[in-house]
Each structure stands twice: as structure tokens, then as C-alpha cells.
A and B are shown apart, each in its own frame.
Chain A
Amino acid sequence: MAINIKTWLEQFFNAYTENPSQPSNPVSEDLFSLGDIAFDIATTDEINKTLPPLLKKLEAQLSQSFSADEQCRLKIVFSSPSTAETFVHHPSDSTPHSKILHALHRFFTNGHNDLIHDTLYLDALSNHCFPEPLYGYKLTESKEMNIWLLAIFPNKVPSANQVRWKLTAVENALKKGFSAWAQQEKKISKAVTSERAIHAAELHDSLAQVLGYLRIKSAKLDSLCQSNTYHELKPVTEDLAAYTHYAYRQTRELITSSRLSMKGDNLTQAISDSVSEFEQQSAIVFEYDNRLKKNITSPKQSMQLLYIVRECLSNIVRHSHATHARIVIKETLSTQIEIFIEDNGIGLDTKNARNDSFGLKIMHERAERIDARLLIQPHPNQGTQVILTLKVGDNHE
């Protein structure tokens, strides 16, 4: 029997919130709207846009339960242990002070022992010296993302029991909402990956094989037309062979794109994984030097950068005859990163480059797509140096 997920979730949350066995507390009078909130979270496509108005609504509700001097401000923290990133969601009209944001980022990315518990209390006197006292409740936990509800009390701080009692219904509704949202996100991500894998397999089995065959045949035709007898055909067959090869290379690239996936769009980790993969295929000493303090490239930029870096690594392993290779990523300005890929090999012979070599052309195309500057030049000492310069958003703080 087919059932619409939205309908099902609506029924599920309504049933949950209408349960008469729930403990009564100051916010339980408006349980129906808490059910709506959980439902909104569970079904949202854009969590960033959904949370600010929702938190505002919750704060307004809670203001009735706390006294006037116990001002409760809510934040929801998404913390990704694998990428060391922290996202703080807050009501749109109350942007937290940068001190609080930095303190939260430090606390949630440093792997404190406190995070193994489901509740937190932090203030200026605690080890972590929080500027404003806060209570924290863990909403969901996974390898990719931990989500916390934070209740910050800039003025008078109520006791832990009092806060817990007043926030239980909110906490439970959010737990339900985020748990369903996380499952939904996981399903979408799985579906996208599997769709990509199907496309890759189809491309590999059909188009790439036909193009591979055409590539060999057109190359043979071209070599036969090199003799004087067919000199008039020569320009045509040369073009034909070159473009067939180009189409073949682009198809192979598409297959690679479909197969390549990045965990959490984390470029630096993906490059590190690629370096480990390529170093298994050679005796070259690879040195990976990532000086970025955090991940600041967009998913689109990260993907194109990863392809370019992988093409460079592949060239180093296949053609460079190098013994050492170095990959350095650094932030040269607050809005610019540079990636250096260097080797001490025989260098790039641009004058005698093969006509059928499209790797460099594809690298340039990929760089253009993200407005990056790609420079391929002889290394001042020996070998080849590739420098990729990319502007990144300045709002990554």
C-alpha cells in the first residue's frame, strides 16, 4: 500500500503529541504546535531556512514559562565530527555575539569528554569559560552529524531541573523531528549515489565501449591517410581521430565523476584519500601539506578541485618519473586559496605534447567552471609545478 510520507508523518506526530500520557508542563498546553514544529523539521528541504522562524516561535512560547528576568534564548548546533565544522542556527532577529559563536565552535570541534553525555551545563566558571551560561541537550548523534539544543540564559539562570522540566516537551518534539529529518536526508543521499552508480555503469557498458572502438578505428584511419595517396583526407581524419578521442576522454571523465563521491563535501579529506590511493600505485614519496584551518570551498568548487588534483596525481604517477611529489593547500588571502602540486620529475614537454592528450585541456575546462586560475609550469628546481588559485566566499567565518 502506498502512503504519502507527509501524510504519514503528520498523522504520526499528531498521534504522538495528542498522547494524554505526556507529562504536563508549561509548554504542553500548546502541544499541537510542537507537533507541527516536529513535522516541519522532518519534512523540510532547506533546514537553514526552516529553523530560524521555528526557533523564534519556540522562544516566544517559552517566554511564558520563564520569568521576565530569565530570558531563554534557543540555538540549535549542528556539529560534524568528521569535518570539524559547527553550524549554529538561531532566530533571525538575534544573531549571537561572535564570542559565543567562537566559543561554541571551539567546544564542539575539540572532542570534549563532556560531549559523550546527553546534557551539558557551561558557564564562565566551567572549564570551557562560556561567556553566557547555557544548558545543552543532545537531540541526535551519528558519525556524520551531532545535533544539540542549547538554551542560553544571559541574565538570571534557572536551575537545571527547572530548565529540563520546562524544555522536555520541546526537546522531545525536536528529537522526533530531527531523527526523521536525518533519516530522510540519508535516504536522499543514498538514492543520489545509487542513481549516479547506475549512470556510470550504463555509460561504461554502452557509450564508453562504442567510443573506445571508434577511437581505435579513427586513429587507424588517420594513420592510413598519412601517406601521400590520401593527402587530401589527412586534415579530416586528423580532426576525426582527435575529436573521437576527446569524446572518449570526456565520457571517461563523466564516469569518474559519477563514481567519485566526497564524504561531507570535505575537500581536504578527499584529497588526502586520493593521495593515499595514488601512493599505493608507485614508489613516489607523496607529501600532503594541508594548511587550511577549516573547509571553506563550496561543494561545487570542491568537486572540480578534486578532479584537477586527481588528474595531476595521475600524471605524476604515469608520466613524471618523479621520486617526490608535494601537494600544498593554503589560504593565501582571507578569500583565496592556493593549491600547489609539485614533483621533481622530468618536467612537462609542452612542445612535443601528443595531439591525443586531452588531460590538460579538461583540467583547464574544469578550472574555468569554478573561476579558478590554473597555471602549469616547470618547477624552478626540477619537474613540474601546478598552481591552482581560487576565490572562496568571504562569509566562511
Chain B
Amino acid sequence: MNLLKWPQSVFNKDNSFNLDDSNLHETLFNSLGDVVMIIDQNHRISLVNTCWEKITGVAASSSHNLLFTDFLHPEDVKIWNDIIRKVFNSHGSELVWFRIISADGNIHWCEMRVQQLRPNEHYPLSATLCDITPQIRNEQIRNASHRSLQSLVNRLPAMLYRSRNNTSWSMEYVSSGCKELTGLSSEELINQPQISYGELIHEEDAGYVWNQVQFCLQTQQVFELQYRLNQANGKCITVKEKGRGLYSESGMILGVEGFVFQFE
């Protein structure tokens, strides 16, 4: 099969298509921006369009009869085998991500949709493949930035929080520092009706905390407090807190954000 043969012309003189012309199908096949391929029962490439070369650096004509798995990253061969089993079980089309190693040794992340070419036969398989490396790279950068911020926040010897403005100070978010400060994990403190941060504040200081915060919220000032906190193990410690309100454009109080740390 000649894969790369480019037809002389697929158009009629009046620029309309000649749908019976086999060259038209080949032109269409090779014009696609995604790889389209057929893989046989030995996992060899039976047919592939020219877009394949853009990803692998290997010409489509030279790839005929090569093992598809030879292009895969060794760690991803198992993903490929698993997806084939899934295709056979579901008799439908499956989506999979894996890495292809190009001729120059670089990695290309690819998304493949694979299915049986004919409904009642396991093989051959038909597949489309597109290079998603730029998206993966962007995601890696976003993840690294998020991971870095997350670990910074969670390692701080303080509890960063965002809470609702109610006497229970019910938390929407608390950093991992809450465990050292209160003895409770973030999961125990976030949106839990049974346990609230407000209940940990020393009984005699709770009124002062509420009044101070409300005053500062009304005047849109930063608040700074020092009060006693009962830890989960019953020990009473003194803490310092600094925070501010979260407001809508119309000035409505939406919540409170700040940080609390133990004051020796």
C-alpha cells in the first residue's frame, strides 16, 4: 500500500469534489492534523497517515509493519495492553494517554482513541492519536506551582484559615498547621457541625473575640487578637490571630480570613 503518494488532483475542473476518486480519500486521510492508524493482531502498524511523522519523526511509509509498542515509553506498554483488554471487553471505543518516544529520543504525550475496526472482530484495531504534550506541560507547571504553595502553607507553624462569620467560626479552609495548634486535623475542622473552632476558644475569651472581630469587620479594618484556646487534649494555650474580612463589591461580609499561631 502506498501511503505517501500524493494525488495529482482531487478536484474537478469546477473545483467540486469527485467523491468516487480514491485519491480524495487519501488526500483527506493525509491532510488530518491527528494521526489515524490501523493496528493488526500482532500489534504492528498496518496503515497510518502522514501526521505520524510529525510526532515520531518516522515516515509513515517506513512505519508499515513496525510494532506499535516499540514507539511506546517502556513504562506505558502496560497501559496499552490494559486498554486493548478493555476494548475487547466493552466492544466500544476507549480513550488512553501514554508517552511516545520519537526518533530523536524526545517524549510526546499522546491521547489515543482506539476501537475495533469491525464490530465482530478483535483485530484489526483502528485508532486516532493526537499530541497533547503542550497541555501536559502546562498542567505540570500548574501542578508544581499548586504543590509548592500547598506545601508552603501546610508547613507554616501557624493555621491559615477562611471561615464563615458566625459564632462557631465554621471553617471553609484550614491549613495543616491546625493539627499542631488545636490537636484536630483539617478534615475534622472543615464544615463539621459537631466540632467547630468556636467551641475551642476559651469560654471567657469567646465574647471578646466575637466583639473585636465584628467591630473590625464593620469598619473594614484588620483585626489582631490574643486569646486562650483549648486544644483537643484539654490543654489550654495562648494564641495570636490576625485577619480581615472578605467583602462583596457592595460591602457585604462574605467571610473571614487570617492566621492563628501559638504565642509562647
Binding site for B on A (CB under 8 A): 110, 279-287, 289-293, 323
Q: Are the C-beta atoms of B141 and A285 separated by less than 8 Å?
A: yes
A292 CA / B145 CA spacing, docked (Å): 29
B151 at the interface (CB under 8 A from A): yes
Q: Are the C-beta atoms of A293 and B74 separated by less than 8 Å?
A: yes
A279: contacting residue among B78, B101, B141, B147, CB under 8 A? B147
Q: Shortest CB–CB separation between residue A269 and chain B, in angstroms?
A: 12
- Tally B residues with Cβ within 8 Å of A: 16
A284 CA / B147 CA spacing, docked (Å): 10
Residues of A contacting B91 in the complex (Cβ-Cβ under 8 angstroms)? none
Residues of A contacting B101 in the complex (Cβ-Cβ under 8 angstroms)? 291
A283 CA / B142 CA spacing, docked (Å): 10
Could you list 17 examples of A-B contacts with CB < 8 Å?
A: A279-B144, A280-B151, A281-B151, A282-B148, A283-B145, A283-B148, A283-B149, A284-B144, A285-B143, A286-B144, A287-B140, A289-B73, A290-B74, A290-B75, A291-B74, A291-B75, A292-B74
Residues of B contacting A290 in the complex (Cβ-Cβ under 8 angstroms)? 74-75
Residues of B contacting A323 in the complex (Cβ-Cβ under 8 angstroms)? 141
Q: Are the C-beta atoms of B73 and A291 separated by less than 8 Å?
A: yes
A291 CA / B73 CA spacing, docked (Å): 7
Residues of A contacting B81 in the complex (Cβ-Cβ under 8 angstroms)? 110
* A283-B144 contact, Cβ under 8 Å, with A290-B75, A291-B73, A292-B74: yes
Having A283-B148, A284-B144, A291-B73, one finds 4 other A-B pairs with CB under 8 Å, namely: A280-B151, A285-B144, A287-B140, A290-B74
* A289-B141 contact, Cβ under 8 Å, with A279-B147, A282-B148: no
Measured CB to CB, the nearest residue on chain A to B74 is A293
Q: Shortest CB–CB separation between residue A217 and chain B, in angstroms?
A: 31
B107 at the interface (CB under 8 A from A): yes
Chain A proximity mask over B139-159: 1 for CB below 8 Å, otherwise 0 = 011011101110100000000
A290 CA / B151 CA spacing, docked (Å): 26
Q: Shortest CB–CB separation between residue B69 and chain A, in angstroms?
A: 11
Chain A binding site: helix, strand, loop or mixed by DSSP?
loop
A292 CA / B78 CA spacing, docked (Å): 14
Q: Are the C-beta atoms of B144 and A289 separated by less than 8 Å?
A: no
A343 CA / B10 CA spacing, docked (Å): 49
Give B105-151 interface residues, CB cut-off 8 Å to A: 107, 140-141, 143-145, 147-149, 151
A292 CA / B144 CA spacing, docked (Å): 25
Q: Shortest CB–CB separation between residue A154 and chain B, in angstroms?
A: 27
Q: Which of A289, A292, A323: most chain B Cβ within 10 A?
A: A289
Q: Are the C-beta atoms of B147 and A280 separated by less than 8 Å?
A: yes
Q: Shortest CB–CB separation between residue A318 and chain B, in angstroms?
A: 15
> Which 7 pairs across A and B sit closest by C-beta, in order of nearness?
A283-B148, A285-B144, A293-B74, A285-B140, A280-B151, A283-B144, A291-B74
Residues of B contacting A293 in the complex (Cβ-Cβ under 8 angstroms)? 74
A289 CA / B75 CA spacing, docked (Å): 9
Q: Shortest CB–CB separation between residue A127 and chain B, in angstroms?
A: 11
A290 CA / B74 CA spacing, docked (Å): 8
Residues of B contacting A287 in the complex (Cβ-Cβ under 8 angstroms)? 140
A293 CA / B143 CA spacing, docked (Å): 28
A65 CA / B148 CA spacing, docked (Å): 67
Measured CB to CB, the nearest residue on chain B to A290 is B75
Residues of B contacting A283 in the complex (Cβ-Cβ under 8 angstroms)? 144-145, 147-149
Q: Shortest CB–CB separation between residue A323 and chain B, in angstroms?
A: 8
Residues of B contacting A280 in the complex (Cβ-Cβ under 8 angstroms)? 147, 151
Residues of B contacting A291 in the complex (Cβ-Cβ under 8 angstroms)? 73-75, 101
A289 CA / B74 CA spacing, docked (Å): 10
Q: Shortest CB–CB separation between residue A24 and chain B, in angstroms?
A: 45
A29 CA / B253 CA spacing, docked (Å): 88
Measured CB to CB, the nearest residue on chain A to B146 is A283
A280 CA / B144 CA spacing, docked (Å): 9
A279 CA / B144 CA spacing, docked (Å): 8
Chain A proximity mask over B65-93: 1 for CB below 8 Å, otherwise 0 = 00000000111001001000000000000
